[in-house]
Amino acid sequence: MDRGYDSNHLLVQLVRRGIEPIIPARSNNRRAAHRDARKMRRYKHRWIVERTFAWLGYFRRLLVLHDHSLLVRAGFFHLACAMLTLRRVLK
């Protein structure tokens, strides 16, 4: 989650449910609760996941439900991942 979700009330609810929040504090939040610097280091690598989802969004066949078979959709997902990997390797 990004800074837009920084609310002490929300963080307390997440902790009660057993969810480990890794949300950076907003600059105007003076009483930031449940912050651990070691966990926030993982937040820095969040862009890798978001960028990968954006790359998968280039494949329209994955975005629009043309196929109702889960097996066919999984096949196209794996094909898209292979194409993205080849693009990165062959650069």
Alpha-carbon distance 90 to 70, whole Å?
A: 30
Q: What kind and span of H or E run contains 82?
A: helix 70-89
Alpha-carbon distance 91 to 89, whole Å?
A: 6
In this predicted model, what pLDDT tens digit does every residue of 21-72 receive, in sequence order?
Answer: 777 777 666 665 556 666 666 666 777 777 888 888 888 888 887 778 889 8
What is the pLDDT, as a whole number, of residue 41? 66
* Full-model pTM: 0.52
DSSP code of residue 60:
H
Which residue, among 5, 15, 89, has the nearest Cα to 43 in the 3D structure? 5
What is the pLDDT, as a whole number, of residue 24? 73
